[in-house]
């Protein structure tokens, strides 16, 4: 059996979810989704187009900060990643606060673009490595963006899955519930149940999350790792052993 790291497993799983699409965008501070997107691109021989929003080089935007959202509104972003300080069983995400909103116990940075992108990006992959009853809750304290909407509300996108350090949940918008799709190797269904604050659907024999193929590992550890190092040097060094680059020359300035 192949040796691999947890991060490689997660990236491989996410790359499989991305599927055959035109454009994947990855937000800031998301090295594992970025790895997945770049892996999908390598496997697809250049398709999908990958935008890493944290990188000047790896995105094409020239119309200011609005272009990401305009692009999504045009239907030109097929896959995006969101997370949440809290995520609940109906796919609602909370990026704002815990406790009473006027004087909350905890305050997160804020909703960013989630309240829009969750509605207009066809495949939103929720990604939260911490799998605990603190993060996966029965009901979020603040809905930054709802998991589902009434049928008359314009919505061309939404959650397709939730990937954690323990497992993969698929989201069923019609049932407004997650279904345990697979449990990562060396973890158990009981562990998932014990650490999940929300109810979810489950078949009798939950499969093990598919392991990364030799080909995927080869790509991740080679071309993908080198691309990643431009944007996530520490991650690329730690996971894939890419040597830390010398402090890069500043690109040309006028």
Partner 1 sequence: MPVVARRLEDALTAVTDGCVLAVPRENSGVAMAATRALIRRGIKKLHLIALPTSSLQADLLIGAGCVATIETSAVGLGEFGLAPRFTAAVTAGALTVKDATCPALHAAFQAAEKGMPFIPLRGLIGSDILKYRDDWRVIDNPFGDNDPIVLLPAIKPEVALFHAPMADRAGNVWIGRQRELATMAHASAKTIATVEKLHDGNLLDDPVLAAGTLPGFYIEAVAVAPRGAWPLPLPDHYPADGAHLTEYATLAATTDGFATYLDKFVHDRHAA
Residues forming contacts to partner 1 in the complex (CB under 8 A) are 23, 28-29, 46, 49, 56, 60-67, 69-76, 95-97, 101-120, 142-146, 149-150, 152-154, 250-254
The three-point CA angle 144-137-149 to 5° equals 45
Give min distance, CB of 52 to partner 1, in A. Answer: 13
Q: Compare residues 86 and 164 and give the one whose CB is closer to partner 1.
A: 86
The residues that bridge with 163 in the sheet, in sequence order, are: 127, 168
Give the dihedral sign, CA 235/161/159/194: negative
Q: Nearer to partner 1 by C-beta: 19 or 233?
A: 233
Q: What share of the chain is helix, strand, coil (3-state, %, to 5)?
A: 30, 20, 50
Cβ neighbours of residue 253 closer than 8 Å, sequence gap 6 or more: none
Helix 31-43 and helix 6-18: axis angle, to 10°? 50
Least gap, CB of 213 to partner 1 (angstroms): 26
For partner 1, the closer of residues 187 and 238 by Cβ is 238
* Least Cβ distance, residue 182 to partner 1 (angstroms): 29
Q: Minimum CB separation from partner 1 for residue 15, in Å?
A: 20
Q: How far is the CB of 149 from partner 1 (least distance, A)?
A: 6
For the bound state, the minimum distance from the C-beta of residue 31 to partner 1, rounded and expressed in Å, comes to: 10
Helix (H, G, I), strand (E, B) or coil at 137: strand
If DSSP codes are grouped into helix, strand and coil, which group holds residue 6?
helix
Nearer to partner 1, 116 or 221 (CB): 116
| Dist. CA 137–CA 117, nearest whole Å | 22
3-state secondary structure of 172: strand
56 or 134: CB nearest partner 1: 56
Of 116 and 170, nearer to partner 1 (C-beta) is 116
**In whole angstroms, what separates CA 43 from the centre of its chain?**
19
């Amino acid at each position: 059996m192949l040796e691999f790291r947890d991060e490689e497993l997660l990236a491989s799983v996410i790359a499989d979810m991305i599927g055959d699409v035109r454009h994947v965008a990855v937000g800031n501070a998301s090295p594992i989704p970025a790895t997945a997107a770049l892996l999908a691109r390598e496997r697809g021989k250049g398709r999908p187009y990958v935008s890493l929003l944290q990188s000047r080089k790896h995105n094409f935007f020239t119309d200011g900060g609005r272009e990401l959202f305009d692009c999504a509104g045009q239907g030109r972003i097929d896959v995006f990643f969101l997370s949440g300080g809290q995520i609940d069983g109906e796919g609602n995400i909370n990026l704002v606060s815990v406790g009473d909103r006027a004087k909350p116990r905890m305050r997160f940075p804020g909703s960013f673009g989630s309240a829009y992108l969750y509605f207009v990006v066809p495949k939103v992959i929720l990604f939260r490595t911490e799998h605990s009853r603190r993060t996966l809750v029965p009901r979020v304290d603040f809905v930054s963006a709802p998991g589902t909407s009434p049928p008359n509300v314009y919505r061309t996108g939404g959650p397709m899955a939730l990937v954690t350090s323990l497992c993969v949940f698929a989201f069923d918008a019609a049932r407004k519930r997650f279904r345990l799709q697979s449990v990562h190797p060396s973890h158990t269904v009981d562990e998932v149940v014990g650490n999940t604050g929300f109810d979810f659907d489950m078949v009798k024999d939950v499969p093990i999350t598919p392991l990364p193929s030799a080909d995927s590992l080869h790509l991740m550890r080679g071309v993908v790792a080198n691309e990643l190092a431009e944007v996530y040097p520490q991650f690329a060094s730690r996971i894939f052993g890419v040597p830390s680059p010398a402090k890069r020359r500043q690109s040309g300035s006028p």
